[in-house]
Amino acid sequence: MTTEIHVKTRKWGDSLAVILPSEIVKKEKLQVNDDVHLIVQKETDLSDLFGTWKSKKTPLELKNESREAWD
């Protein structure tokens, strides 16, 4: 069975850990020492990109250009 959830990492000693919500543990019937397959995908924070993309056009020119593409 597959369940997709959103969790935050937490500090655990020198490592990071994720906490599985009890609803998921019950739904998936997870027990201590069960093997669990995780796919790690960091959510992108667009504020990380601020100031890194260089363009010769102003933000207003880019906005107007994108609007023209929708017409």
Is 7:18 a contact under the CB 8 Å cutoff?
yes
**Nearest in space to 39 (alpha carbons), one of 14, 16, 61, 6:** 6
- Name the residue with tokens 């363009």: 55
pLDDT of residue 46: 67
Residue 62 has pLDDT above 80, yes or no: yes
- pLDDT for the residue numbered 12: 94
Average pLDDT of every residue of the chain:
85
User: Would you say the pTM of this structure is higher than 0.75?
Assistant: no
Provide the pLDDT confidence category of residue 68 given band limits of 50, 70 and 90: confident
Q: Which two tokens stand for residue 10?
A: 């937490």
* Residue 28: count of CB within 10 angstroms of its CB: 14
* pLDDT of res. 5: 87
| pLDDT band at residue 29 using 50, 70 and 90 as cut-offs | very high
